[in-house]
Structure 1
Amino acid sequence: MKLIDALQLSSFQHASLVAGANGLERAIRWVHVVDLPDPLPWVRAGDLLLTTGYAWPTEAEQQRKLIYALAERGLAGVGLAVPQFLPKMPAPACAAADEIGFPLFEIPWEVPFTSITEEIHNSILTIHYKLQEQSEAIHRELMRTALEAEGLQDIVTTLGKLLGRTVTIELPEGSLLAAYYLGEQLGHQDQPEQQDHKEQQIPYQAAKRHEANASIEQQRYLKTLRAGGQHLHIPAAPELGLPERFVCPIHINREMVGLLWVFEEENPLNELDIRTVQYAAIIMALHISQQRALASLEAQLGYSFLDSLLEGHFNPTSQALKRAQIFGFDPNGIYRVGILVLNAQVPLSREAIAEREHLAELLRRQFQEFGTPPLLSLTQNQIIFLLPEPYKAEQIWEPLKASTISLAVSRAHRGFAAVQQAYNDVRAILPHLIPGQYHDYDELLVPLVLTGDKEARASFLEKLFAPLKAAKNGEVLIQTLLMLARTGFHLKRTAEELCIHPKTLRYRMDRLVKLGAYDLHDAETQFNLQLAIRLLSLEE
């Protein structure tokens, strides 16, 4: 108990505080009576020393030294029985005690020391008993939550109510997972920029805390926690509007998977609060571990489903279609196949495997932000995934891009059977990828054609002439376009070869530009048309 609380006891009613009023928050562990010239060997930190003053030093300097020594030993204070041997606490002792905030009391001689020791000891035992009861109640409530919680938000809510404080969980890099603020829970999906209602401020405050986490000082804290630190008290950051905070790491197999934050405000956590937070962190680690195991099982099933699509082994029976629906695959949907490739040697090292898993997790989160189930598979140094329309590959690449990875994406295809074709597309361009860059199939069509890829050749011709095939007299327009290429885009020679009037040629060229957006003055367009002529001549 604290000295200031002991002053409320009946045995202390007639005691007088004569010095060291700034130290009344000191904790009393025990009450000890010592009347020896040198009491230091007989006292320990947290003791309230009671003395009659019989052996108290008489010289002023010795009195001051004794007060300094007792305070340095960590005593709670000193109570002197007056006026039998000393009429009052000596002035030099009072002056030294005021200087260092060490409480000194004068106790009337007629008050027995036994009544003081008995009452304080009983009070300490009562406090410990209540703490034990409170600890058991907290333990039961956390155990109930551990068995019934559906997610981290339930655990955070329970912990916040038990502590009566703001509590948040976030990933080590700073992403908010769940939060509780003054008795109201807020999930990570609620991200208002700014609200007037106090109970809705936590997302904004969490964002400010994430800014603090980016500081050099905060990185030092995280480094300490990663090195095995059990918890840390983080000083207030007034410039960010943040009070003092307590952070406890959440570990699984020595891997720090999260941070449990508690806002201390002006009221620091006591020992029971800290034990509660640490126990809650263990429960959260168990919950995250279980969720990881379930996610791993779901991922393996998802890998198997996607692999069957990629390899063309999927049989669209009614049961298989239900399974596809569970995994979020739309049989009538339009998909592109993408492959993230790690620039790492195969077989992968432990570090490379960890990097691949991290990338896969980031990819899953992106799909969750899109609001679509992630369909992906991991193999060696590749992460294969289906990207549904209308989402663009650039949306996937932008937050992931790094010099150690590259991304290849196929053309868009519809339905079950087309997934294998899309997979073949993207595999064909893998040898042409450049680390740190994103490429799609259409972009690398020409290099594939030049290497003799028959699929690429057909795709190249189809893409080049598709706008004209659907138009009226499309074949005539295609012949005109090819003749322009054969003559080196010489208009007079082209008209002569086609046996048409130059004005007719001009009319056809206007239609070509309008239908296919062909820029006949563009060097790349001219090259593609020249290449098409040679490919067609090979087929003939």
Structure 2
Amino acid sequence: MIVREALLLPSFAEAKVIAGAGGLDNELSSAMVLEAADIENWGKSGQLIITSFFALQELSESEVAQFFHTMSAIGIAAMAFKPERLLLNAPQNVIALCEDFGVPLIELSPSVKYESIMLDVLGHVLDSNLTLLNRFYDAHKHTMALALKQPSIPYILNTLKNTLRMDVSYLDTTRDRRLGTDPTRTCFDAYSLIRREPKPFQTHAYFDAMLFFNRAAAKEADDNRPADEDRAEKALAVRIPSSDGVDYYLLVHESDVELTPLDTMTIENIVGLLQMKILEQNAIKQKLFIQNNNAVHDLLLERYGTPERINSALTVLGIDEFPFYEVLFVHVSLVDCADIDRLDELQQAIRRRIRSAYPGIVYFVNNDRLVFLHNFRSPLTRFNLDLIQDILDKLHASSTLPPFKHLVALSSTVDRYAIGQANTEVLNVYRLFNGSTSSDRAIRFEDLGVYKLMLMADDLSQLAEYMDPRVVDLAKKQPELLSTLICLCENGMDFSKTGEQLFIHPKTVRYRVERARKVYGIDVKNPDDFLQVVLTNKIMALGRES
């Protein structure tokens, strides 16, 4: 209740307001007798302070002023003064301070007892809370009945609109999915959120939202505004909790209307119902993800065995329309190991960007690897490695994602019964170039050239005789020196870039190159020795990956 309503209670029958009448609409929720001036330790917003000013008599004028300043900051609703033997009239400085801070000062009847005032105020509050609890129970009961109907999100929104008599919208920020009772109000181009201080009955996060509509949105709305007029609209936003790391919001568009406690409880119930719908959708998506992930994995590893089972799997995945297939392999490594808990966030961003460019693809996820399977009509619609590289470069530049490195491998074109072969091709590229100091690369299997001869070996031990004995000796005795030579070769003999990657001075790189030449007879400035270092490194890489 408000202070004005409290004056109608029996114990206030002979009371009169002697100051601070501008605060009669302050919300009043409890009552307390003033026994000490340390109000910051026990005062609460909405309290009625009952006093004879005994606790303030020893304070100086400045201390009394500070007391009222603290009282106003806390949000004390009003002050009730009972004339007694100590003071028959309220002090003038107190009257002036009540006027200044807008705190109603009520002079009570000298015969009224403190107990009567406390019982009247608290009894009324308890009765009000009981009424509110009953209304909340009814609202909750209706919401649960609605949940049993398995309603869609638009149906839930329309139900809320009919209750609040306000337009509402649903926003999925990651997928930019908008649903609303008024479609024109979902066409905002951008938005900003400022968090509100929590109020009673609010368990979720509430925000003051500003929705910005550009010219195109204004024109599309067809709401008699000039087509060249940008506009902004206020709304109330309530965050809907979820388990998938995505921000969902319920928007109430008439934010200038003061919500009643029952309105707030209705919104809380609807947010809970929307949360159930989101969890349900996420459970379905997770189940489909696992099924599709396993199906793609089995195709890549040739586990289906017969053409009929392969055809059936491709049909289930929805990638059986065209004659050609290819595999795109994306390996990511986080620069900072402390960001490991954000790996899934990074992979989701990569999947969204690549699937937005190639909507018909399916994928397999395993730890730090993403493998995309693409069904396409002709060479013109193949994966474009330049586009893939551009997508990843933009993700590197994103300030919202953890720093990472990538290696991309693209298979040759195969038919539906050779998908396993395409998978082997990209894995071979990964085996050759994983750990390379030249990171953030995109490589086609078709461009491997002479490296394909290595991959044709049935037994990797056969390749050992093709390794330069000098390089093998260097790897055994001074692996750090060999790593410097490999890094220099991969960087096209760029001493400065090599020093930067190895965190050493370019002169140190030159010293190591010269030492390798003098001690081991390996001169990477010589084209033949350059090739021996590169080929021996690739053969060793194949052995490590195996």
Q: TM-score, normalised by structure 2?
A: 0.56
- From 185, 202, 210, the equivalent of 1:201 is 185
Q: Could you tell which deviates more after superposition, 97-106 or 303-312?
A: 303-312
Deviation at 1:26, TM superposition (A): 3.0
Query: What residue is the counterpart of 2:349 in the other structure?
Result: 362
> 1 CA distance for matches of 2:162 and 2:117?
37
Query: What residue is the counterpart of 1:103 in the other structure?
Result: 104
Deviation at 1:427, TM superposition (A): 3.5
SS of equivalent to 2:241: strand
> 1 CA distance for matches of 2:62 and 2:424?
92
SS of equivalent to 1:404: strand
Deviation at 1:320, TM superposition (A): 6.2
Deviation at 1:385, TM superposition (A): 1.3
- Please tell me whether the aligned partners of residues 360 and 375 of structure 2 are also in contact (alpha carbons under 8 angstroms): no
- From 365, 371, 383, the equivalent of 1:378 is 365
1:258 aligns with 2:247: yes
Q: Map of 1:237-248 to 2, 5 A cutoff?
A: 241=232, 243=234, 248=239
> 2 CA distance for matches of 1:76 and 1:384?
64
1:328 aligns with 2:318: yes
Query: What residue is the counterpart of 1:537 in the other structure?
Result: none
Q: Could you tell which deviates more after superposition, 112-121 or 387-396?
A: 112-121
Query: What residue is the counterpart of 1:439 in the other structure?
Result: 443
- Please tell me whether the aligned partners of residues 170 and 177 of structure 1 are also in contact (alpha carbons under 8 angstroms): yes
Q: Could you tell which deviates more after superposition, 80-89 or 324-333?
A: 80-89
Equivalent pairs: percent with the same residue? 18
- Please tell me whether the aligned partners of residues 363 and 396 of structure 1 are also in contact (alpha carbons under 8 angstroms): no
Amino acid at match of 1:26: N
Cα offsets for 1:12-35 (capped at 9, x unmatched): 68754332234334332235678x
Cα offsets for 1:117-164 (capped at 9, x unmatched): 666445423321232123223433444555555776666666676665
Query: What residue is the counterpart of 2:126 in the other structure?
Result: 125
Amino acid at match of 2:423: Y
- Please tell me whether the aligned partners of residues 249 and 256 of structure 1 are also in contact (alpha carbons under 8 angstroms): no
Q: Could you tell which deviates more after superposition, 127-136 or 387-396?
A: 387-396
- Please tell me whether the aligned partners of residues 339 and 426 of structure 1 are also in contact (alpha carbons under 8 angstroms): yes
Cα offsets for 1:240-284 (capped at 9, x unmatched): 9475866547364xx854354656934576777777767766666
Deviation at 1:360, TM superposition (A): 4.4
Cα offsets for 1:40-95 (capped at 9, x unmatched): 89x95444345789999799959966973993676421345789998865533221
SS of equivalent to 2:449: helix
1:113 to 1:338, Cα distance in 2 relative to 1, 3 A: same
Cα offsets for 1:316-341 (capped at 9, x unmatched): 67676455323212154433211111
- Please tell me whether the aligned partners of residues 4 and 24 of structure 1 are also in contact (alpha carbons under 8 angstroms): yes
Amino acid at match of 2:190: K
1:339 aligns with 2:357: no
1:87 to 1:144, Cα distance in 2 relative to 1, 3 A: same
Deviation at 1:96, TM superposition (A): 1.3
Amino acid at match of 2:295: F
- Please tell me whether the aligned partners of residues 333 and 368 of structure 2 are also in contact (alpha carbons under 8 angstroms): yes
SS of equivalent to 1:427: helix
Amino acid at match of 1:250: P
SS of equivalent to 1:420: helix
Amino acid at match of 1:439: I
- Please tell me whether the aligned partners of residues 340 and 406 of structure 1 are also in contact (alpha carbons under 8 angstroms): yes
Amino acid at match of 2:417: A
Count of aligned pairs between the two proteins: 410
CA RMSD of aligned residues (A): 5.3
> 2 CA distance for matches of 1:37 and 1:133?
37
> 2 CA distance for matches of 1:134 and 1:286?
22
> 2 CA distance for matches of 1:449 and 1:9?
94
Q: Map of 1:166-315 to 2, 5 A cutoff?
A: 166=168, 168-170=170-172, 175-180=175-180, 184=181, 200-204=184-188, 207-209=189-191, 212=192, 241=232, 243=234, 248=239, 250=241, 252=243, 256-260=245-249, 265-266=255-256, 288-314=278-304
Query: What residue is the counterpart of 1:404 in the other structure?
Result: 405
> 2 CA distance for matches of 1:274 and 1:452?
67
1:236 to 1:422, Cα distance in 2 relative to 1, 3 A: closer
Deviation at 1:101, TM superposition (A): 1.8
Amino acid at match of 2:286: S
> 2 CA distance for matches of 1:397 and 1:369?
14
Cα offsets for 1:341-392 (capped at 9, x unmatched): 12379xx98955851x335433554576468455211235321111233364
Query: What residue is the counterpart of 1:2 in the other structure?
Result: 2
Q: Could you tell which deviates more after superposition, 298-307 or 238-247?
A: 238-247
1:133 to 1:446, Cα distance in 2 relative to 1, 3 A: same
Cα offsets for 1:293-315 (capped at 9, x unmatched): 44333233223322333234435
Q: Could you tell which deviates more after superposition, 424-433 or 374-383?
A: 424-433
- Please tell me whether the aligned partners of residues 142 and 158 of structure 1 are also in contact (alpha carbons under 8 angstroms): no
SS of equivalent to 1:27: coil
Cα offsets for 1:441-467 (capped at 9, x unmatched): 44x15354575769xxxxxxxxxxxxx
1:377 to 1:271, Cα distance in 2 relative to 1, 3 A: same
1:440 to 1:352, Cα distance in 2 relative to 1, 3 A: farther
- Please tell me whether the aligned partners of residues 146 and 155 of structure 1 are also in contact (alpha carbons under 8 angstroms): no
Q: TM-score, normalised by structure 1?
A: 0.57
SS of equivalent to 2:190: helix
Deviation at 1:419, TM superposition (A): 2.5
Query: What residue is the counterpart of 2:140 in the other structure?
Result: 139
Q: Could you tell which deviates more after superposition, 263-272 or 98-107?
A: 263-272
SS of equivalent to 1:133: helix
1:332 to 1:126, Cα distance in 2 relative to 1, 3 A: same
> 1 CA distance for matches of 2:98 and 2:133?
35
Deviation at 1:202, TM superposition (A): 2.8
Cα offsets for 1:156-186 (capped at 9, x unmatched): 6666766657564445xx5544554xxx17x
Amino acid at match of 1:139: H
SS of equivalent to 2:371: strand
SS of equivalent to 2:28: coil
Q: Could you tell which deviates more after superposition, 99-108 or 427-436?
A: 427-436
- Please tell me whether the aligned partners of residues 83 and 108 of structure 1 are also in contact (alpha carbons under 8 angstroms): no
> 2 CA distance for matches of 1:38 and 1:282?
43
- Please tell me whether the aligned partners of residues 49 and 80 of structure 2 are also in contact (alpha carbons under 8 angstroms): yes
> 1 CA distance for matches of 2:449 and 2:362?
30
- Please tell me whether the aligned partners of residues 245 and 262 of structure 1 are also in contact (alpha carbons under 8 angstroms): yes
Cα offsets for 1:424-479 (capped at 9, x unmatched): 4433433257531323344x15354575769xxxxxxxxxxxxxxxxxxxxxxxxx
1:427 aligns with 2:427: yes
Query: What residue is the counterpart of 1:508 in the other structure?
Result: none
> 1 CA distance for matches of 2:331 and 2:99?
70
1:23 to 1:391, Cα distance in 2 relative to 1, 3 A: farther
Cα offsets for 1:222-248 (capped at 9, x unmatched): xxxxxxxx8656567799947586654
Q: Could you tell which deviates more after superposition, 312-321 or 297-306?
A: 312-321
Q: Map of 1:30-69 to 2, 5 A cutoff?
A: 30-31=30-31, 45=44, 46-49=46-49, 68=68
SS of equivalent to 1:26: coil
1:91 to 1:157, Cα distance in 2 relative to 1, 3 A: same
> 2 CA distance for matches of 1:422 and 1:155?
47
> 1 CA distance for matches of 2:299 and 2:359?
18
Query: What residue is the counterpart of 1:20 in the other structure?
Result: 20
- Please tell me whether the aligned partners of residues 393 and 409 of structure 1 are also in contact (alpha carbons under 8 angstroms): no
Query: What residue is the counterpart of 2:92 in the other structure?
Result: 91
